[in-house]
Chains A and B, each alone.
Chain A
């Protein structure tokens, strides 16, 4: 089968955002999907998986747009409060996709921190659906997990280094990405809106093993060794695509 067309583009204020649009080969559905990725090493680990998710959603008729938040990935670096920019980026991406696709409905699909951001930006993005995959309870719990991984990472790296060469913690960096105090503080304040309308949750097998509808693959977000390899949950991606094809017009 021919793969859906993938188009790289710059968009948004001063063309500062880098995005990738996956276009369906068949007649497109009414719903187009903005994919909101996570942050830092978690985002890197999931990148190829989200590429495959976008392409497979396009195979089922959903036009999608993935993008890098301001100051991350291939997007431009600009001054300003990162979290406020990222939330605004989601609304900008939703508008861009609405315009490019001509779709009448927009869904935001967020993974991990991207889920928290998507939930927060849903109104500004005028989203018709909010799809949350492994959404953390809140920003504080997600930050705590990242902080734990960061400390474990230092410990692991220093285990084989002589004392004079041991790496020292850097105050405003986390897992190798910038982590300024204003960003850390703003993320800690993020909450999932309780009982938000238009919201559907999806969970990896190990995140909510109690749920019958959990996706088949595990994620192991808190396992340091997993940061060294890509997360490509092929069965979960296929299941998610099947469900959305049934649930969304």
Chain B
């Protein structure tokens, strides 16, 4: 499918700027995708991830906006650090243009934090995807981390070196740098998820293998938030072989496939079922553990036509896909 792109300048003083990827024919009944900044990087995202994502979404029929929040990239609205207001403004603009009246924010790292807060604040958010945003260690993740450290001579050596020269060099590893955002405490996070579940929002969580000392097994998030496990409209992925910014092309492709498959199942198929008078997916939790992120069928349905078949990537055995309705 051919897509087109246009820049949007809107908000206070037309100070917010985003680039909108559009399918050939806009279906305003579908939610638009909104992708806020990741870290300090402007709207194109790390390694152009947001560009690849938005163009793939547009090829699959969704309008997709990669957005510079105020003070980032090319946006200067006069507001400071009000990512929620900026995203609400973006949704207002998409509505005003007749492109969409609902949206799905998708955010990586600080973008996930911003997407989470936007989803809490605005009921026009009908689904959301969070990538490497909030990390909560568990007893099991601590055990795994310790085992990893003790079984790796290089890390033991690094540890000894650090102890012998205090202050020399930063501690290796760690989670997301706190300078970007402060994650909610675990209780608030669980309450937020309760709210999303009450709204019946499809949720997509993905963790990379970057922060092994904090998140290191596939269903760790379920140990943090057990209620999620009883919910039938979520997906949890663990891309252990990826890094935090999806720095290799194969990692980005894998992520795009997973998100397209999720959007297809949760938005397109569901809408078709409802339009056809069918009953939406069964609500009983159905746990699937797959060796691959996406099934061949869903890839074929959703992969943009411009992608060569050879782009298909053998996906990680570390990945689990949980709770997807059939």
Q: Which A residues are closer than 8 A to B by beta carbons? A: 3, 6-10, 18, 20, 44, 47-48, 51, 68, 72-74, 76, 153, 157, 159-163, 165, 167, 170, 173, 175-178, 228-230
* A132 CB to nearest B CB, Å: 24
- Which A residues lie within 8 Å of B154 (CB)? 159
The 9 A-B pairs at the shortest CB distance, nearest first, are namely A8-B7, A160-B173, A176-B247, A176-B47, A230-B40, A47-B42, A159-B172, A162-B148, A74-B19
A16 to B152, CA, bound (A): 49
Q: Which listed residue, A3, A44, A76, touches B76 by the CB 8 Å rule?
A: A3
**A7, A18, A165: the one within 8 Å of B240 (CB):** A165
Residues of chain B within 8 A (CB-CB) of A229 are 40
Count, chain B residues at interface, CB 8 A = 42
Q: Does B249 count as interface, using CB distance less than 8 angstroms?
A: yes
Give CA–CA (A157, B48) in the complex, Å: 20
> Do the beta carbons of A160 and B5 come within 8 Å of each other?
no
> Could you say which residues of chain A place their CB within 8 Å of the CB of B51?
73-74
CB-CB under 8 A from B151, the residues of chain A are 162
Contacts of B42 on A, CB cut-off 8 Å? Answer: 44, 47-48
5 more A-B residue pairs beyond the given contacts A161-B212, A173-B248, A176-B47, with a C-beta to C-beta distance below 8 A: A76-B5, A159-B155, A165-B212, A165-B241, A167-B248
Residues of the A chain whose Cβ atoms lie less than 8 Å from the Cβ of B209: 161, 165
B219 within 8 A of A: no
Q: How far is the CA of A153 from the CA of B210 in the complex (A)?
A: 13
Interface residues of chain B, those whose CB is within 8 Å of chain A, are 5-7, 9, 13, 17, 19, 39-44, 46-48, 51, 72-74, 76, 148, 151-152, 154-155, 158, 172-173, 177, 209-210, 212-213, 240-241, 243, 245, 247-250
By beta carbon, the residue of chain A nearest B318 is A165
Partner of B72, one of A3, A48, A161: A48
Q: Do residues A173 and B249 form an inter-chain contact, with CB atoms below 8 A?
A: yes
Contact assessment for B46 and A20 in the assembled complex, using a CB-CB cutoff below 8 Å: no
Q: Which residues of A contact B74 (CB under 8 A)?
A: 6, 8, 20, 51
Name the CB-closest residue of B to A161: B212
Q: How far is the CB of A104 from chain B (nearest CB, A)?
A: 28
Chain A residue nearest to B154 (CB atoms) is A159
